[in-house]
Structure 1
Amino acid sequence: MSGWTAESIPGQHGRIAVVTGANSGVGLVTATELARHGAHVVLAVRNLRAGEEAARRIGGDVEVRELDLASLASVRAFAQGLTADHPAIDLLVNNAGVVLLGERRTTADGFELQIGTNLLGHFALTGLLLGTLRPGARVVNLSSITHKTAHLDFDDLMSERDFRASPAYGRSKLATTVFGLELHRRLEAAGSPVISVLAHPGLTRTNLTPRAWEHLGRPGRVLSWIGLLATQPVEQGARPQLCAATDPGVQGGQFFGPARLWETRGRVTHARLSPEATDPAVGQRLWAASEELTGVRYL
C-alpha cells in the first residue's frame, strides 16, 4: 500500500455509494473523494441542514438523506426509502460514530449511546441493505486503535453497572470491529460476492479534536492544543477508509490503517487487530446479541 493516496482511487462512475456521517470529518472527505471520482454518493446524516451544506461543498453527484443511527425507527425508514429509490448499491461505508465526553446517555431504544450508534445502528442498517448490494459490493466499517485495548463484557454490554466514557467508546469500536470481521466470515461461508473490510484513521484532526478535553477546564485546553499537534490532517486520516472502499486489490476481512507511530499517522498499511477482535467465538456471541437487540436478522 506504499504511496497510496486519494489519487490512487480508480474511477467510480456508475457506482452508488452510501456514507454514514458524511457531513464532517473523515466521512466528509470520504464522500468528497468518492464523488470526485465519479460515484453517486448518498450522504446519510443525522442533521439535514449540515448534510445540505456538505453537499454544496462536495458538489458532484450527491444526495442527502436523513439517518439517525441512534434510532432503529430512523434506520428502518432510511433503508426503506433508499432501497425504493436505489435497488442496487455498490458501497456501504459505516463511517458515522459518536464519542461521549461526560455522563452516560442512551439512544431512542434505550441502548448506551456509543455502542447503540457505533455498532447497533450500523448492524441494523447493514442487514436491511444487504439484499441491495450488488456482486462485488463492499461494506466498510470504521474501527479505531482504541479497539486494541478494549474488552467486551457480555454481561454489561450497555455499561449500566460501570460507565466510563472513554473505555465505553473503546468497547463500542471493538464491537464494530468484531462485527465487520464476523460479517466477513458469514459472507464468505455463504459464498456471497459481497465483501466486508475495515479501516481506522489513527489519530486524526476532526471537528471533535478541540472539544475532546473541554470538560477539564484549563488543563483540558492545554491537552486540546497537544491533541491538535499530535493528530494528522483529516484528509490523511481518511485514506485507510478510502483504500478499503475502492482499491481493486482489497480482500474481505482485511484491515487498513496508518503505518507510523503505533498506527497513529502516516501512509496506508495493513493494520493489526487485537486477539479478541479476531476470535470467532466472540464474533458469534456479539452477532447473536446484536440480532436480539435490533430485531434484524441476516445470513
Structure 2
Amino acid sequence: MGSAHSTNCKAKSVCQDLRGKHFVVTGANTGLGYATTRELAKMGAAVTLACRSAERGQQAIDKMKAEALEKPVKEGVDLLEGLTDVDVRLEVLDLGSLQSVIAFAQRFKASGTKVDVLINNAGIMAIPERRETVDGLEMQIGVNHFGGHLLTRLMEPLMNDGGRVIFLSSLGHRQPPGQAKVTLDFDNVNYEKPDTYNSWMAYGRSKLANILDAKEFAKRLEARGISTYACHPGIVNTELMRNMTDSSLMSRVTRLTAPLSRFILATPLTGALTTIRCAVDPSLAGPEFSGKYWGNMKEETPSELALDPANPPRLWEVTESVLEAKLGKNVDDLLLYS
C-alpha cells in the first residue's frame, strides 16, 4: 500500500505513502480513532471521519489540521513530503441507530467514492445498567457489534478489491480484570432474559463478537481479495472509560487511578499503531493474514471461544436474523450494488 517515507516513526510498517487511498474511520473524533485518522491523513490518505456528533467531528478536524500543518505534533509520523494539506472530511454516523448506518452508506454510494479501508473503531464500554439503542438492542452489543456488522455489510460493495476491514476488539474478550471469564449465549445476545445483564460480560461478548465477525467476513470477502483484521490496542487512556461508574473492581480501580492515567496507560497513538499497521502494511496483505487477531503490532492468539470454528458462522446467522427482525427486511436486500 505504499513505501516507507518518515524518519519520525516507531515502526516502519506503519509509515506508508497513502496518496490515492480512501479510508473510513468510525468514532474518529476522539481517542484511538482520532490518533488513527490523524496519522493516516499525515501519510497522504483521504479519510472520512464517521462521527456521531457533527460538532465534535468538526472540532476534531480543526485540531487535526492544526497538529499536522500549523503546529505539528512531535509524535507519530512526519507529514508526507510535498503535502500542503490533509484530506479529512466529516460524515455523521450513529452506530446506535441502524437507520443512521443505512443512511451513511447510501450517502457514500451517492458520492461515488470508493473505499480502500474501513476501520470499525467506534465503541462503548461497561455501561453499568442495561440500556437500549433506538432499535431496542442492548447498547454495547448494538453499537460495538450490530452497528459495525451492518456498516461493513453495506460498505463492502463500495470497497475496492484488495481492500481491508479492521474490527477494534479488546483484551476484554477473554476475561475483563476482576470479572468472570467471558462466555457466549447465542440465545440471549440482546440480554432480554431477566437478571442476566452484566456490564463487563456484555462488553466482553461484544468484543468477542468483533473477533468472530472478522473471521467470518474474511471467508466471505476472500474472493474479492478484501482482508479483515481484529485488533486490540491494549489498555489506553481514552474516553472509552467514561461509563465506568459501577461498583465493580475494575471500575473502582479505574476511578482511583484516573489522575495518574496519562502516566500509567498507553497513549492513543501507541494503542492505534496496531490498527494502522493492519490497515496499511503491504506485508500483511493476503488470505494467510485475513481474519486473524492482532495486538502489540503482531499476530496474537485470542481466546478458545474465538478460535472455535463453529462460532463465527453461528454468530453471523444470529446477527443477520436479529437485523432482519429489526429492519423488517433481509440485509441482502439492502446491499448497495451499483
Question: Would the TM-score normalized by the shorter structure come out above 0.5?
Answer: yes
- The letter of the residue matching 1:8 is V
Q: 1:252 aligns with which of 269, 273, 290?
A: 290
1:195 counterpart (221, 227, 232) = 227
CA distance in 2 between partners of 1:148 and 1:273 (Å): 8
> 1:16: how far off?
0.8
How many residues are treated as equivalent by the alignment?
284
Match runs of 1:57-96 below 5 Å? 57-59=63-65, 60-96=86-122
State whether residues 167 and 229 of structure 2, in contact with CA within 8 Å, keep that contact through their aligned partners in structure 1: yes
Deviation at 1:225, TM superposition (A): 4.1
* TM-score with structure 1 setting the length: 0.89
Preserved CA contact (<8 Å) 2:126 2:243: no
Q: 2:132 aligns with which of 91, 94, 106?
A: 106
* 2:36–2:275 CA contact under 8 A, matched in 1: yes
After superposition, where does 1:146-295 map in structure 2 within 5 Å? 146-149=172-175, 150-161=182-193, 162-188=196-222, 191-209=223-241, 211=242, 213-215=244-246, 221-225=255-259, 227-250=261-284, 251-258=289-296, 268-295=297-324
C-alpha separation in 2, matches of 1:226 and 1:110:
37
Distance 1:288 1:254 in 2: 20
TM-score by length of 2: 0.79
Q: Deviations over 1:161-218 (max 9, x none)?
A: 3011111100110011100111112223xx2211111211011111244x45445598
Aligned 8 A contact 2:124 2:240 in 1: no
SS of the aligned residue for 2:50 comes to strand
Classify the secondary structure of the residue corresponding to 2:230.
strand
- Give the distance between the partners of 1:195 and 1:208, measured in 2 at CA: 27
Q: Which moved more, 1:236-245 or 1:278-287?
A: 278-287
Distance in 2 (alpha carbons) for counterparts of 1:84 and 1:238: 30
1:142 aligns with one of 168, 172, 175: 168
Structure 2 vs 1, CA of residues 86 and 212 (structure 1 numbering), >3 Å: closer, same or farther? same
Q: Which has the larger radius of gyration?
A: 2
Query: What is the match of residue 261 of structure 1?
Result: none
Q: Which residue identity is paired with 1:269?
A: K
RMSD: 2.1
Q: Measured at CA, do residues 101 and 291 of structure 1 come closer, stay the same or move farther in structure 2, by a change above 3 Å?
A: closer
Measured after TM superposition, the shift of residue 7 of structure 1 is 7.4
User: Could you list the runs of 5+ residues in structure 2 that have no partner in the other structure?
Assistant: 1-8, 66-85, 176-181, 325-330
C-alpha spacing 1:252/1:219, structure 2 compared with 1 (3 Å): closer
Question: For 2:32, which of 12, 26, 31 is the aligned residue?
Answer: 26
Could you say which residue in structure 1 is the equivalent of 2:52?
Answer: 46
Of all paired residues, the percent bearing the same amino acid is: 37
Structure 1: state its 5+ residue gaps.
259-267
Cα distance in 2, alignment partners of residues 107 and 49 from structure 1:
21
CA distance in 1 between counterparts of 2:244 and 2:206 reads 20
Equivalent residues of 1:32, 1:58 under 8 A apart: yes
